[in-house]
Each structure stands twice: as C-alpha cells, then as structure tokens.
Amino acid sequence: MESGTVNYQSRQGLIKRIRIPVLLLGMMILAACSSLYTTSGSRWNLGEIYNPASSQLHPSYRVYHHMDDRSILLVKLFPSELLFNQANESGVFMSKVSVQLQAYEIRENNPILVDSITYTYDIRQENVGRRFLTQIPFKAETGKRYQLRVVARDLIRKDFNLQFVDVDKTSPYSPQNFNLVNEQRIPYFNNVLLPNAVYKIEHRNPVHDTLYIHYYSSQLPIPSPVYPSVSDESFYQKADSVYALPYSPNLLLSFAYEGIYHFRFDTTLSEGLTVVNFGANFPKIKSPEELIEPLAYIATTVDYEQLLKEENKKLANDRFWLKLAETTGRARELIRVYYNRVYFANYYFSTSVPGWKTDRGMVYVIYGPPRNMEKTPTTESWIYNIGGASGSITFNFRNNPTAFNPENYQLIRSESQNWRWKEAVESWRSGKIFMAD
C-alpha cells in the first residue's frame, strides 16, 4: 500500500544495465549451484524466502503486460532497509543496489531460461523518500507462462533477497494485464487495498468500454489440516452486488466495504483482476474479533465455539492463552510468536483470503517458516527438521490457479501427516511454542 508522492528514478547516470547471453548465463549458474529450484547442493536456501529475518531487504514486485512481446517488472525498495555511506566520488550518502532478473519460460512445468538482465542503481539518500521505485522490462510473449527469479542486492552491506514471481501471459484478461495505481499513477504492489483510498485501473488494450465489478462480502472458511480447502470458484458463484461502469484509465475507484472486488471486461469469462479490502489494520491483527479467529488451528472445537460466543473477545483471548501458559510471562511470549506468524502469513500469502487462512498460511502459523524448501514452477515442498524420534516432516503444495486467486497453493494432504500435525498442535496446547530445528 502506498501513500505520498514517489517518482520513478531517472535512468540518466543512475542505472547500469547488463544483459548476459542466455547460454553463457546458464553455464555460469550451473557452475555456481546444482539447481535453481531446490535446496540440496545449492548456495540458496529457498526456505529463507518466507523468513523475514533472513535478510534486511524486503522488496516488492509486480508484473504488468504493457506490450505483446515484452512485460515490465515493477520494483519497490525501501531506503530504510539499505546501507548508505560516503565512500564514493561525490562524497554524499549513497547506497548501491542491484536487481538481477532471470526469466524462465514454463513448458510442461519445466523452466527454460529465456532472458536475463541486471540493473545497478546508485541511490542518493538526499534524493529518495520512503520508497524507491523502478521498472525492469523483460522478454515475454503473448500466450506463454514464465517464472521470474529475482535477486535484489545491497552491494554495500553484502545482503540479498531472493524471490520468484509468476508471469501469466496466456490471456489478455488475466490479472497482470491490469495495472493498479493511485491518482499520481504510482503503482500498488499487492491487491490488498486500504478502505476509502482512491485507485485507478489501467489496461493497455481494453477490448470493451464497460468495466464490471463483482462484489463479494463473504470469505472462504478456515482450512483444515485434514480436509481439502473449499474452491473459491465454487464458493463465489453468486456475487452480492454487480456494478457496470464506463471504463476509462482515469476512472477513480474507492472500496469502502470489506470483501472481494473482481473486475472484468467480459462477464462471459471468469478471468479478471481481484482486489480485496481486509480492513484498515491489515496485515496486522488488532481487533478482539481478529485475535480470536486464528485460534481455530490450536483450540479444541468446543473451546473455539465458546470463544466465538463470548461478548468480551479481548478478555476471552487473554484467558485462553493464560490457561495454556499458566503464567503471564509465558502467555505473553506465546501470544507474541503466534500472532507474529499470523502477521507474516498475511504478508506472504494473502490472496482472495487473508494469508493465515490459506493452506500455506495454516502450516506457517503452526510450524513457522520452512527450514528448507524445494520448488518447481507450480509446486513447493516445505521441509522441517523436527529432531528426536520425530525426524522430519514435509508439506507439499501444488498451485491450482483460479480466476480469483492465481497463486492458489493447496496442501497435498496425507494420512501420514496427521499425527505429526497433532504433535505440533499439542505443543501449543501445552503452552510450548512449536519450533522446528
């Protein structure tokens, strides 16, 4: 979410661009590590992607399809996370950052490197505000899918952040054909919007002059570790309200009510842009009602139903944690860790539902960030080393994109996981923070 005025940095004297031939780059990568998408034998621990403590850098990315044969990666960096010093010719406080983008075309779930580029930015502290915004063009043809491997580096601090960004260019109606901006045309980097803020929706080639907005007030139910998640496509079959507006890229929109807003140019197709309003506090959990809901993962069914009935939710929440921990100090520590995980589940995994209510968010809240991760363009395997007699446990997720959620990673549930899950939940119920080795 953005506020204030931020200008794209001028490319004059600021950016050095390096494009490496694909064949040569592939040889360099193979020499450096055995696999881009797995942990074993690699200098990259992919599990750190979901660990906020693994790096000082937490950039945001968004893709916009502005041309048939090219797309743009929009980049947001936070200067407060960068190291500035005066060790430069100008003697001014400056940070030096590079962003390396590698584009892989996805053919039958196999990644094939098709483009690579590195931009280097000299960022003067006196010229930058709270956010540094830039954009990186890359090759992407209509009708294809890609995955971007993006590494942002603070070259002074010697720190880096690795992320993967999915690119879907198979349809002119898919979400990345829309660009969500504010009144100054500054882009937003996620689809979780602030109530009552003003937005514009850009589309490089709208095929119709009417924009349809389908509004849904209800949310998907909380997932279960045993039963498959409810499909959002079946859950959102009927909208609470439908609006038809004459489309213009200068059309000003505001979303006052909490819920889901799905934008389409063609109502005969389900594809479009989905944005959500989860309230002014999101991704933080502040209200008593918000504190109660995530307890569904560790409370018994009877206790949870009773918590939902309590008039004083704040008092009920305090009593719940004190009962588990037995001491006030221990209860505070349990609360700190548990809701910190809820917050980062919201930060990493929010889609058409808050992140903690997704399958990945459910595992994240109970187990914490994965210690290791193996990844393909459509799957993730989270690996936790439990230690002792329990050994390790792996949670496998498969992405089943829907019109409302292009990153619908669903847990592949198995009976063998049940006792391990119960073991982790029982740890929380006995007043112990469950943490993998």
pLDDT digits (tens, 9 = 90+) for 366-410: 999 999 999 999 999 999 987 755 578 899 999 999 888 889 999
Gap between the Cα atoms of 133 and 150, Å rounded = 15
Alpha-carbon distance values, 339 to 70, 95, 284, 407 (Å): 41, 34, 9, 23
Which residue(s) pair with 345 in the sheet? none
CA distance 256 to 106: 38
97 DSSP assignment: E
- Structure-block tokens of residue 89: 């010719």
Q: What is the pLDDT of residue 194?
A: 85
pLDDT of residue 149: 95
| CA-based torsion, 58, 275, 101, 64: positive or negative | negative
Which residues, listed in sequence order, are joined to residue 276 by a DSSP beta bridge?
192, 260
DSSP state of 286: -
For 235-265, give the DSSP string.
Answer: HTSS-SEEEEEE--TT--EE--SSEEEEEES
Q: Which amino acid is at 157?
A: R
Residue 122 CA to residue 225 CA, distance in Å, equals: 47
pLDDT at residue 74, as a whole number: 97
pLDDT (tens digit, 0 to 9) for every residue of the chain, 437 residues total? 443 333 344 333 355 666 545 434 433 333 333 344 543 334 568 989 999 999 999 999 999 999 999 999 999 999 999 999 999 888 999 999 999 999 999 988 788 999 999 999 999 999 998 999 999 999 999 999 999 999 999 999 999 999 999 999 999 989 999 999 999 899 999 899 888 889 999 998 877 889 999 999 877 788 888 777 777 777 778 899 999 999 999 999 998 899 999 999 988 888 899 999 999 889 998 888 899 999 999 999 999 999 999 999 999 999 999 999 999 999 999 999 999 999 999 999 998 899 999 999 999 999 999 999 999 999 999 999 877 555 788 999 999 998 888 899 999 998 878 888 998 999 999 999 998 76
Q: List, in order of start, the domains of the chain with CATH numbers.
A: 15-170 (2.60.40.10), 177-277 (no CATH)
Can you read off the two tokens belonging to residue 100? 């390396």
Secondary structure letter of residue 332 according to DSSP? H
DSSP state of 127: G
pLDDT of residue 19: 58
Global pTM value: 0.88
Residues 6+ apart with CB under 8 A from 42: 33, 34, 35, 36
221, 304 Cβ separation under 8 angstroms: no
Q: In what order do the strands lie in the sheet with 145-154?
A: 15-18, 110-124, 94-107, 145-154, 159-168
Nearest to 357 by CA among 295, 279, 436, 419: 295
Question: What is the 3 state secondary structure string of 200-229?
Answer: EEEECCCCCCEEEEEEECCCCCCCCCCCCC
- The angle that helices 313-325 and 301-309 make with each other, rounded to 10 degrees, is 150
pLDDT of residue 30: 33
pLDDT reported for residue 336: 96
- What's the gap between Cα 314 and its chain centre? 29
If 0-12 CB within 10 Å is exposed, 13-18 middle and 19+ buried, where does residue 222 land?
A: middle
* One-letter identity of residue 326: E
Rounded to the nearest 5°, which phi and psi values hold at 432?
Answer: -120, 130
d(CA 287, CA 284): 9
Amino acid at 401: P
Instruction: For tokens 């000299």, name the residue.
Output: 122
Closest C-alpha among 351, 162, 375, 408 to residue 383? 375
